[in-house]
Amino acid sequence: MRSNNGSKTVIIAVACILSIGICPVLARQVDVITVDGPITPVVAKYINEAISRAESAGDELLVIRLDTPGGLLQSTMSIDKRILASRVPVAVYISPSGGRAASAGVFITYAAHFAAMAPSTNIGSAHPVTMGGKDTSRVMLEKVTNDAVAHIKGLARQRQRNARWAEEAVRSSINITEQEALKLGVINLVARNLDDLMEKLQGRTVEAAGQQVTLQTAGAELTFHPMGFHYQVLNKIADPNIAYLLMMAGIIGIFFELRNPGAIFPGVLGGISLILAFFAFQVLPINAAGILLILLAVIFFIMEVHITSYGLLTIGGLVAMILGSLMLYRSPELQVSLSVMIPAIGGFALFILFALYMALKARLTKSTTGVAGMVGERGSVVRPLNPEGQVSVHGEIWRATSQTKVKAGTEIEVVDVKGMLLIVKPVETDN
């Protein structure tokens, strides 16, 4: 009996030790990221990297806390595809209270493995619109809408959510609260906070990348990954209009510096603006033809300053600038706003015309400094010109030459300067 009791004691002790060692292994990790604002290419990259990080770490779940007014359809499609291919389950949690998932947010919510909303939130209004203040044709808008409807219905079927409501959200921009969304089968649950969300997701099974996964989220460790400063800056300047204005400011600054070497400040400001513009262009769908047309316009403007084209180069530059601005972005939903483009091009044209005016004025104005300022001045012959001699101009003695012989004391006028030699002619006097 003692032997058996001793064996039991040893077994219990070993089990306790193993349980202590195993507990850390069984601790589950849940990553949490926050998207608060429009869906942009930067946000798409941020979410894609978060999913890849969660997959590499073997996390139990990735939670996207979402509060968005909408965003770019192209970026939304990229996010949806990444969520659908994720090996780690993704939960979209529309929060905090008062938040919303509008437009692009509806698509992302439908793509997620689990959809949850906080109290006093809403979802809907997913009808496609264009950016930039320009309306697309009715046929084009209908094509975009039908494509969006097909996409969200496919998401609804895969996630077993309400496809009819999703279609109405796209076609009619309807909007519902969290309780209505739960009742209609648009979302899976309503959660007060993240801890409540973890409790309600505990034990739920979902298919991720072809594998059945049962979540163990109760008591899981939450790790927050806020958007880094790099992404925050890029997200601010990745707006199509801001990136365009930065590019225009950079071009003007560099142009001014080239026209006035040594000004420094315009060149520095222009260089920084161009770098920031190219920084933004790395995540925007840029059309190379648009960039080339804008650069061609700048070349035309520079040539206008040095070549007399009677305004033809300026007109050509303005046409190239307008066409380049309209073609700058490949995506039809990403366009430079007319309210931004027209003042920017108008300001640039005024700047070029001012530079052209100053250049012409400098050419037509007689120089008043240096040896070139001697042209037109009068003096008298000190030593006879035969053809060379010396003259006195402004009280200074200069070497001079004339096409005719000129006697000492004769009044002369400077007609040209070659180095330190004055070309003069005698001044005719009335008898």
* 76 neighbors 69 (Cβ within 8 angstroms): no
Which of 78, 86, 95, 103 is the catalytic position? 103
118: three-class secondary structure by DSSP: coil
Q: Which of 99-108, 362-371, 400-409 has the lowest mean pLDDT?
A: 362-371
Architecture of the domain made up of 27-230: Alpha-Beta Complex (3.90)
Which one, of 221, 197, 46, lies nearest residue 121 by Cα? 197
* Among the ranges given (148-162, 264-278, 302-316), the one the predictor scored with the smallest mean pLDDT: 302-316
What does the buried/exposed string (b/e) look like for 316-330 if buried means 16 or more CB atoms within 10 Å of the residue's CB? Answer: bbbebbbbbbbbbbe
Q: What is the DSSP letter of 161?
A: -
What is the second-level CATH architecture of the domain 371-426? Answer: Beta Barrel (2.40)
Cβ atoms < 10 Å from Cβ of 142: 12
Q: Is the pLDDT of residue 9 over 60?
A: no
Q: What is the pLDDT of residue 295?
A: 87
- Between CA 82 and CA 39 the distance in angstroms is 15
Nearest 10 degrees: Cα torsion 202, 58, 77, 124? 20
Shortest CA distance to 250 belongs to which of 344, 317, 132, 358?
344
Establish whether 86 is a catalytic residue: no
- Helices assigned H by DSSP within 265-337: 265-281, 288-306, 312-326
Percent of residues, the chain, with pLDDT higher than 90: 41
Q: What is the pLDDT of residue 4?
A: 52
Which residue would you say has higher pLDDT here, 260 or 104?
104
DSSP characters for 327-381?
TSBSSTT----HHHHHHHHHHHHHHHHHHHHHHHHHHHSPP-STGGGGTT-EEEE
> What is the per-residue pLDDT for 394?
79
Find the catalytic residue in 52, 143, 153, 236.
143
Q: What is the pLDDT of residue 17?
A: 46
Q: What distance lies between CA 24 and its chain's CA centroid?
A: 44
Angle of helix 240-259 relative to helix 229-237, nearest 10 degrees, comes to: 80
Give the pLDDT mean for 355-370: 63
Which pLDDT score, from 0 to 100, does residue 279 have?
Answer: 82
Collapsed DSSP state (helix, strand, coil) of residue 23: helix
Q: Which two tokens stand for residue 267?
A: 């060149």
Q: Average the pLDDT over each of 44-53, 281-290, 300-309 and give the range with the smallest value.
A: 300-309
The answer to whether residue 143 is catalytic is yes
Q: In the chain, what percentage of residues exceed pLDDT 70? A: 85
Confidence of residue 262 (pLDDT cuts 50, 70, 90): confident
Question: Around Cβ 126, how many Cβ atoms within 10 Å?
Answer: 31
pLDDT at 205 over 70: yes
- pLDDT value of residue 162: 96
* pLDDT winner (highest mean) among 40-49, 87-96, 253-262, 306-315: 87-96
pLDDT band at 25 (very low <50, low <70, confident <90, very high): very low
Judged by DSSP in three states, 72 sits in coil
**pLDDT bracket for residue 67 (50, 70, 90):** very high
Once rounded to an integer, what is the mean pLDDT over residues 180-203?
96
**pLDDT surpassing 50 at residue 1:** no
**Amino acid residing at 116:** A
What is the pLDDT at residue 20?
43
Q: Which band of pLDDT confidence, cut at 50, 70 and 90, is reported for residue 76? A: very high
How much is the average pLDDT of 414-419? 87
Number of residues in the chain: 431
- Predicted confidence at residue 142, as pLDDT, reads 82
Q: Same CATH fold, 371-426 and 27-230?
A: no
**Distance between CA 237 and CA 279 in Å, rounded?**
8
Query: Residue 285: is the preceding peptide bond cis (ω within 30°)?
Result: no
- pLDDT score, position 133: 45
**Looking at residues 45-70, what average pLDDT do you find?**
95
Has residue 429 got a pLDDT over 70? no
Q: Where are the domains of the chain?
A: 27-230, 239-364, 371-426
Of 259, 115, 139, 136, nearest to 188 (Cα)?
115
Task: pLDDT band for 363, please (50, 70, 90 cuts).
Answer: low
pLDDT > 50? residue 2 = no
